[in-house]
Amino acid sequence: MTSRHSGVKIIMINAEQMYSVLDTLPDPVFILTREGRYVGVFGGKDARYYHDGKGLVGHRITDLIKPIKAQWFLEQIQKALSTKSLLIVEYELSNKDVKGLPNEGPDEPIWFEGRVQSLDFKVDDDDVVLWVASNISERHCLEVQLREMSDTDQLTGLYNRRKLERDLILHFEAFTRYGIPTAMLMFDLDNLKVINDSLGHLAGDKLIQTLAITCSAELRTNDIACRFGGDEFVIAMPALDQEQALQLAKRLHQRFIEALSDFAAADTKATVSMGVVSMSVADTTYLDVLHRADTALYQAKHQGKNRIVSA
């Protein structure tokens, strides 16, 4: 079919040709009603990422997806319909989200970018949206790796100060709003300069790495251990009060003594001084907690090193 506009010949395609175009799109395209019913499925021809989705037509999201994730999809549809603008979302899907499938399967979920747009027509008197789903698993994996690199100390593999401070902001908010305690342990190596001068800086690096390895072996999974700078470390311990944190610090201090027993220069041994604090109602920000932990560490140094001060 052709037409002319301002003397320009325009070639028109018919409905059958348009359907063929839609069906050859590499990413899947879904037409969904407000209630999450599939009324059209096109595309998805990139066989590396997608299976044929034609069998979805007539089903509802709630028929196929488990309730929590299904509710999320319905909320995005409602949002796209109410705003009448393009909605871009990222989400994951795994076999654990699909009804009737066993939990066994790939360890990593598939990540998608969804582009959701309301349409200006109805299907069977139902409002509908166009939902384009693009597999972004490779991109997401790369983004996670880059984020981990930016949050990780290169020498020790522990978190860095930037990551710690981001998490402390969240834990301080949880403390002030809900009373959920978080304790903090700050420690550093005693006599590092003497050992560096006697055995070399590689020995100093080995000392620092030994502390990090010991932390990784002894701490709980939800504890946040970071190299704060130089030979100084901070551990944030969510859901622990002062006394519980002190007990953990004592156990960790003993492990440090054992791990560092082989490092010595003349009569000088590598030991660790520690300061333990917990969040208090007198603290105005997480920085107050850090300051008190630093003060407790300084007191441990001043009192003769190789000890724990609980402030």
Highest mean pLDDT among 8-17, 49-58, 169-178, 262-271: 169-178
pLDDT digits (tens, 9 = 90+) for 89-125: 999 988 888 886 555 445 578 999 999 999 999 999 9
Residue with structure tokens 């300084």?
298
Judged by phi (left if over 0) then psi (alpha if -120 to 50, else beta), residue 307 lies in beta
| pLDDT at 1 (0 to 100) | 52
Please give the Cα distance from 242 to 155 (Å, whole number).
30
Q: Which residues contact 178 (CB under 8 A, 6 or more apart)?
A: none
Which pair of tokens denotes residue 224?
């946040």
> Is the pLDDT at 16 greater than 90, yes or no?
no
Q: Is 80 exposed, middle or buried (0-12, 13-18, 19+ CB in 10 A)?
A: buried
- Phi/psi for 186 (5° steps) reads -115, 135
Count Cβ atoms below 10 Å from residue 82 Cβ, excluding itself: 11
